Amino acid sequence: MKLTVNGTEHEVDVEDDMPLLWVLRDELNIKGVKYGCGVAQCGACTVHIDGEAVRSCQTAAADVWGEVTTIEGLGTPDALHAVQAAWVEHQVAQCGYCQSGQMMQAAALLATNPAPTDADIDDAMNGNLCRCGTYPRIRAAVKTAATKLQEV
């Protein structure tokens, strides 16, 4: 099957029901997407498919309907995405394990809601767990990214 990931088309020989997470990590060697729980409850495996945040652990390879973007493809080779830059500015990451999923979820939120309220942020980020409890920094970073994106 053919998958376009971070702007590059790939031909992969996998079972149709293989989770996208394992296609990305094991077949394409894209390691930014993380395995967390395997049941779409923690958000560590969040990627975008045509801009929509999805849990790659529960998305079968054959069900991918468009271009896949991982944390590696969120920015450009020359510049971080506003969400990535805000994460650095606010030093959001503690252990960092969940942060690629957090950033992908935040980027999807900001693509559809450029000026989210605290409640909007909390609602959108609700399914992404952070064992370290960096939620206040996550919310601050989302607000900073929203401001930066509106300036562009």
The DSSP-derived string for 28-73 is: S---SS--S-SSSSS-TTEEEETTEEEEGGGSBGGG--S-EE-GGG
Query: Could you give the domains of the chain?
Result: 2-73 (3.10.20.30), 82-151 (1.10.150.120)
Q: Report the pLDDT value the prediction gives residue 42, as an integer from 0 to 100.
A: 97
pLDDT tens digits for range 7-61: 999 999 999 999 999 999 999 999 999 999 999 999 999 999 999 999 999 999 9
In the predicted model, is pLDDT for residue 152 greater than 90? no
* First-residue to last-residue Cα distance in the chain: 37
Whole-number Å distance between alpha carbons of 50 and 30: 18
Rounded average pLDDT over 69-75:
97
Rounded average pLDDT over 60-68:
98
Q: Report the pLDDT value the prediction gives residue 67, as an integer from 0 to 100.
A: 98
